[in-house]
Structure 1
Amino acid sequence: MRLVKILVDEDDLDAVLSVLDDEDIDHVSFERVTSGAETSEELLVEFPLPNQAVEYVRDRLDETGVTGRYFVAVNAEMAQTEHFDALEDRFITGTEEGDSVSPEELRSTALSLHPDPAAYYVMTVVSTLVAVAGLLLNSAALVVGAMVIAPQVGSALTASVGTTMRDWSMLKRGVRAQVLSLSLAVLASAVFGVALQSLGSVSPVVHLETIAEIGERTSPGLLTLAVGLAAGIAGAVGLATALPVSLVGVMIAAALIPAAAAVGVGIAWNAPSVAIGALVLLVANIVAVNAAGYATLRAFGYKPRDDEGGLPSIRTSAASLVLIALVVATGVTFTLQASFENDVNGAVDGVLDDSEYEDLELIRTQTDFVFVPGSEPPGVAVVVGRPAHQSYPTLAADLGQAISRTTGRDVTVRVEFVERQRYDGR
């Protein structure tokens, strides 16, 4: 709920009150005397409104030409007036004007989510270090903890609102904060990884591909891209409808912080396939979050006011072209990666279906990111369960040959066996 305050010249008071009376909006007015070159009498008019009604009433008042100089909407806890229940029925439970908040409130809320630079970058580094620990320990709980404290929701939504409203300063602020903070996250995670190796806390010969939490960020596919799209949509919906955005921030951080940490880990352990795969995922999710946020806000009907200068059209066109190019490039890359992984999975299933391996149980298949310039053949890690005390010395070779035939690419295959026993109880 909002308490709206507008300053009205005495000559315009009747027009304003007529609009409020037509809409059954209960109001009060206070006399105010201003001093200047000329002394004039003005009135401060106050009235409570549901969040969703602010923009509609502002548009009605704009017709009187008096709302441009002083129009303020502040949070209010409750209202007990003659017609407020009817306004709630009309604008909240009814269908009139939808559920979106006013553009001014949207802008101020997005800016309030972005803390001062010192806190923003410090929390980014802290969340990244927690994410690195979670990735190396293969701890989903620590990775989730890193998402909770990451502050990326503010910069992402600031950029989306700035693009929607053609507010050049907001767009620059949001984009700059995202690029700098995520670059800092990559650098911090790489330095932290090198420090861990120097201190002997983690072996420098760790096979990163075998760690499930890292593997999820180094082999991007269309499903992982969907996380970024969902995060951007959820953030914009929460912002536009005045829902709590704090929980949505976890979703946005989930698309960005673990991927940035994985890039730094890949650099620290000199694993190009890990670093580049995670970097592609990070860039794709940045694009997805911002594009989905912008598209969702436009779907809610937000757009620049006719009298706003805002972002020049040439910059809008350039930004749109860059965004489209990134979306197309990442989409093509993810599609090719997904196709390669499907072929690998099909080849693995085909080998394990042979009678020679009928006692084996496939647990997990992990494929390196394919598109790493100048790298060695992509690796495929296959984890299978086998009966105790049985060996399958030719399984890796059989899998490698089958995958090469299916995909047309040379690959390296690493097989990990998990011993299993079974008791039927009979």
Structure 2
Amino acid sequence: MALRLIKILPPEGFEDLESLIDEDDIIDSWIERSEGSQTVINLLAEVEYTEKILGDLEAKFSGKEDYRIVLLPISATLPTQTQKDEEKNEEEDKDKTTDEEKEDVRVQRISREELYEEIKNNVDFSWVYLVLIALSCVVAANGLIRNSAAMVIGAMVIAPILGPNVGLALATTLGDKTLLKRSLKSIFYGFSLGLSLSIIMGLIIDIDPEVFQISSRTHVSYADIALGLSAGVAGCLSFTRGISAAVIGVMVAVALLPPMVATGLLLGSGMFELAYGAGLLTLTYIICINLAGILTFLLQGIKPHSFTEQREGEELSRWAIFIWVSLLVLLSVIIYFEFL
């Protein structure tokens, strides 16, 4: 059971501090008061309840700006919540009768706010991001040319591809145009740099298209669609569950990095027909990962705050799903006629 500590610095003059504490949603609470300093309210809660708590607090502070809410992860706490306590909470949930009470406040994921900050940090475009993209492409190219699976896997470990793609899916789900632009910027420059470096290496290095690591990425099948969709779902779940995205990032890189590098190597070598197949495989994975990401976020109930933002988010999500599904259908038709 993951825990979070919510520290509340209420607006100046806010006196009804007890109203900020809902005993049903928290494990423990305490208020820190010190002379000449601002009062701090501390709430200890399970991570699944934090989104509801934060939403309730924002509603209570509506129209005020001089407040601060800080969400902190907790590694451990004593005494621990026993199995008996958890079973008691479950029994209390079963006894609820009204429709509002029957609604499960647990979201089975980290809060929307925590998720947004985590993904935003992984979308940031910087020189470090470009260097990692360049290094991963060089290592992947060597692995493809030398037919070394170990080198290809090593390239995937350092490739920062997961963040921008998950960021794009979240941006379209929330209707967040700022995050959308940042994600598209990182994806565009990252893929442009990787493809350009691969083409240059293809121009100066002799490429053997019969090498398995290259030849296996010059055609597309329906199994690749399944892999892309699985990678997209896994990538988003790794963020929403608050677990390490490192291993899942490798899975996404498995799908995207090698075929992209193979496309550049083959283009640089003048093998345009094979490059077409590798490029189509790369495009298939991009479509599948983003489509799966949007659907995963929607199914987990991730949506914007306000009604206006929800309408914009729903509209953008519908358009994004329509575009990705249309492209996926088109690719499926191409796969059927050209590669089966």
TM (normalized to structure 1)?
0.68
Which secondary structure state, in structure 1, belongs to the residue aligned with residue 304 of structure 2? coil
Match of 1:234 in 2: 234
Query: 1:117, 1:65 → 2: CA distance?
Result: 36
Instruction: Identify the match of residue 13 of structure 1 among 11, 17, 30.
Output: 17
- AA aligned to 1:141 is A
Percentage identity across paired residues of the two chains: 26
Measured after TM superposition, the shift of residue 59 of structure 1 is 3.8
CA deviations on 1:360-385 (whole Å, 9 max, x unpaired) are xxxxxxxxxxxxxxxxxxxxxxxxxx
- AA aligned to 2:228 is G
Query: 1:87, 1:6 → 2: CA distance?
Result: 26
Query: 1:87, 1:293 → 2: CA distance?
Result: 35
Query: 1:276, 1:173 → 2: CA distance?
Result: 28
Which secondary structure state, in structure 2, belongs to the residue aligned with residue 113 of structure 1? helix
Match of 1:75 in 2: 73
Measured after TM superposition, the shift of residue 42 of structure 1 is 5.5
Measured after TM superposition, the shift of residue 283 of structure 1 is 1.1
CA deviations on 1:280-314 (whole Å, 9 max, x unpaired) are 11111111111111111111111122256485777
Query: 1:105, 1:145 → 2: CA distance?
Result: 30
Query: 2:307, 2:113 → 1: CA distance?
Result: 14
8 Å contact kept, 2:202–2:269: yes
Query: 1:237, 1:63 → 2: CA distance?
Result: 28
Measured after TM superposition, the shift of residue 97 of structure 1 is 1.5
Match of 1:28 in 2: 30
Measured after TM superposition, the shift of residue 58 of structure 1 is 2.6
The residue correspondences of 1:273-422 to structure 2 (distance < 5 A) are 273-307=273-307, 309=309, 318-339=319-340
8 Å contact kept, 1:12–1:64: no
Query: 2:44, 2:34 → 1: CA distance?
Result: 20
Instruction: Identify the match of residue 148 of structure 2 among 139, 145, 149.
Output: 139
Cα separation, partners in 2 of 1:105 and 1:189, compared to 1, 3 Å: same
Measured after TM superposition, the shift of residue 278 of structure 1 is 0.7
Structure number with greater Rg is: 1
8 Å contact kept, 1:50–1:87: no
Match of 1:118 in 2: 127
Measured after TM superposition, the shift of residue 154 of structure 1 is 1.1
Query: 1:23, 1:15 → 2: CA distance?
Result: 13
Cα separation, partners in 2 of 1:14 and 1:47, compared to 1, 3 Å: closer
Match of 1:357 in 2: none
Structure 1: where are the runs of 5+ without partners?
35-40, 197-201, 340-426
Query: 1:317, 1:55 → 2: CA distance?
Result: 24
Match of 1:263 in 2: 263
Structure 2: where are the runs of 5+ without partners?
94-103
Which secondary structure state, in structure 2, belongs to the residue aligned with residue 262 of structure 1? helix
Which secondary structure state, in structure 1, belongs to the residue aligned with residue 75 of structure 2? coil
Which secondary structure state, in structure 2, belongs to the residue aligned with residue 11 of structure 1? coil
Which secondary structure state, in structure 2, belongs to the residue aligned with residue 233 of structure 1? helix
Cα separation, partners in 2 of 1:141 and 1:88, compared to 1, 3 Å: farther
Cα separation, partners in 2 of 1:11 and 1:87, compared to 1, 3 Å: farther
The residue correspondences of 1:38-187 to structure 2 (distance < 5 A) are 43-62=39-58, 64-65=60-61, 69-80=67-78, 97-187=106-196
Highest RCO, 1 vs 2 (Cα 8 Å, sep ≥ 6):
2
Relative to its length, the structure with more helix (as a share) is: 2
1:194 is aligned to 2:228? no
- AA aligned to 2:18 is D
Superposition RMSD in Å:
2.8
Cα separation, partners in 2 of 1:86 and 1:172, compared to 1, 3 Å: farther
Measured after TM superposition, the shift of residue 25 of structure 1 is 3.3
Measured after TM superposition, the shift of residue 171 of structure 1 is 1.4
CA deviations on 1:237-285 (whole Å, 9 max, x unpaired) are 1111111111100011111110111111111111111111111111111
Query: 2:139, 2:262 → 1: CA distance?
Result: 12
CA deviations on 1:43-74 (whole Å, 9 max, x unpaired) are 31012222222113334445544698422101
Query: 1:273, 1:293 → 2: CA distance?
Result: 31
- The number of residues matched between the two structures is 320
Query: 2:203, 2:296 → 1: CA distance?
Result: 41
8 Å contact kept, 1:49–1:87: no
CA deviations on 1:17-37 (whole Å, 9 max, x unpaired) are 3x2x34453211123788xxx
8 Å contact kept, 2:304–2:313: no
Greater displacement, 122-131 / 316-325: 316-325
Which secondary structure state, in structure 1, belongs to the residue aligned with residue 217 of structure 2? helix
Query: 1:23, 1:227 → 2: CA distance?
Result: 39
Query: 1:254, 1:221 → 2: CA distance?
Result: 16
Measured after TM superposition, the shift of residue 160 of structure 1 is 1.4
Query: 1:166, 1:87 → 2: CA distance?
Result: 39
Measured after TM superposition, the shift of residue 320 of structure 1 is 4.2
Which secondary structure state, in structure 2, belongs to the residue aligned with residue 47 of structure 1? strand
Query: 2:68, 2:83 → 1: CA distance?
Result: 27
Greater displacement, 5-14 / 65-74: 65-74
